[in-house]
Structure 1
């Protein structure tokens, strides 16, 4: 297995936030974003100068924007075009909500105000429209109903969804300012993931479902693209803030299993065996004992233990492995061995000690704390990949084209995946034909893992872009595997990281929201 990109810290799936984009999916458990502590209608609405001063990291709004005529003084549709707020950049975000607006009617208003769109808030210099807000409210209501939950009152839901839209708009602006982008490959993977999570066979079926819901595919894709961008931004910003200690892992395991892990020692020993035949005479036994004592003396004097093992050991492999027995829990070693090294320090020689097989000379190579935990099984995937790195000598588009050609050749039988991986992959796994071994959930970067999870056994992905380059992925097999104590601890650490990441996200979201200039607009009358 290569260390180039697989040994990553666990983090939230990069596309988890995209689920809100599809009406069939569940609303995230958190009712509002962390930034929702700022309520509409506070004094900041009428104090653009103060808001501009509070956001040194962002550009201040132009005076002309802050001084825009009040909506009530113009026809209902006029405020949507009056402020210089890049209205052309956002019509797609407003359209998808339109078909769903009837699902969440607002309180009675004049007919013109009911039908016309208008701006409900401005975030820095971008508008949030009433159609966007009503669409988000309608989706939230449908999702809550599908889960059997009761929707909050319309005024509360409207406030919560508006604050979520404002927070997202501020985060999207920050992402674009810092150069984050979402390519077409990532968008396709996101759509496929959403299709699979909704028990739909492919993206085409997802698009048909969207049409039945009255949602334009282009608008849906724009929404998914924004959610993927937000997820990548959050991953980049949140990771440095998250740390999990061993003590927290211990407490979590006890909480989940109702019992503490049973601590014990794990030992790594090397052994030289001077065998004693079963019917050896006393003289033969004494001679062999002297031989063992001489080997032990030479080992203690500093001679290479592995060389001595190869010369003198009568073990099954004749010391060809240097006599190393391997790291294992002490209860998997003979009690004689454990007792002999109990007070030894790493590097010490023990023995010779007598057993039914003969005389053993032992060297303590390693001593580690271990523990016994209840058995846990988890799904694992074995995959191969071909990685093409991108840079000045190979653009992302060139890498995608090459991998697409590799995929065509593999599927047509002109070449094998293993052969092309050995010849072309720019990853440490190339020598093994791209074989990555068995992996547990959360081991790979989100873009890679999502594409891998979308494949059937034997399937080969389209080119997949990650921070490390462009990948072609093949799934070899899947299984349910029992986790060792170390793997269980890593899984617990992953869960705790997710939990802490949510808390760190709340703090970060408030920071981004606090730097943004937000102006609330009243509905036209």
Structure 2
């Protein structure tokens, strides 16, 4: 076994060199010999590197998976890991996947074609294309449609296995939630909370007399009132602030509360993100403080940003293609932006969902209430702005954001947020333990590369 592991390591080193060179758009020098048993060309050949129970894992599978992950990291402009360290992890992941898929099939789990069709459609919607275009892109990326659908089938099968063997066993009791909420105040006092504050500083000279101080305080209060009315804080910083951080819109940076002045921490601790504190007086002057970001590791947020939007929905059918729906909504947007038509009127006349009677009004919505593609587009809009036509699983939408607000979760909503967070944590722990057990019960043999 020692010899086998050693030769397999040599194969991984050769494969790593080939992958690294390809990712950099280079070709390896012809005279560069990494190992006598595994050249870069051989690293792309198809031979068995491992057997899980009776099912093989080929060198090409490892190479293809490593190449996909490596290129994904490059596209995301993230520093790719050392490929020599990445490849053994890729192989171990493939071993775990094979073992789990075998367990699923051996215990009677199956995936229907309709479920694969639905998954394929969902991916197409997320990428704002139809299924035909998605398949063209998949083919251009070097994967056949059959391979792509097989991968979707495997993913669905593994998800169903996890739901049956792991998720069904995880329970969060009311006592678990009570204990978490009791421990929360102690967790917040540990100093691990991080905040990012933006400030408007009205400087008070050391030699200022009482009249000058009062005048400066009035100026600070005017800035505070306008900030609390929702005016753009960066604009107020440029207008009022005497600080030197104007280029950063007054933001002081995300840091631990222990690295902020105690005056600032006391003023902002009770606040949610987006709130503006009472006026703070320090030796430097008067401070208007806004909470830009607040991170409490391991704790769910107890306040959310809600959005009030309206939309027009057109559902493509035999008489209205997706392209025609997009064109029609683009014309509606032009009419709204140029004040030729009211959005609500167009929605009542054209929208094909239950909100039409309300002028497309969707009411106040918390995060997670809409499908991801709709919510992501809505979140990028400024109040009053109209989106471009957007495809979702329901049809083609035109969205107008009306306003946003901060909302504190009700007691019941807070408990549900805690329940979801604790469940996710327990699920991850249970999954890791379960996956290790499945892996331990599988027969795994690492194969020597061909000479």
Coarse TM-score class (shorter-chain normalised):
0.3 to 0.5
More helix by share: 2
Bigger Rg, which one: 1
Which structure would you say has the larger RCO, counting Cα contacts within 8 Å and 6 or more residues apart? 1
The normalised TM-score by structure 2 is: 0.46
The normalised TM-score by structure 1 is: 0.40
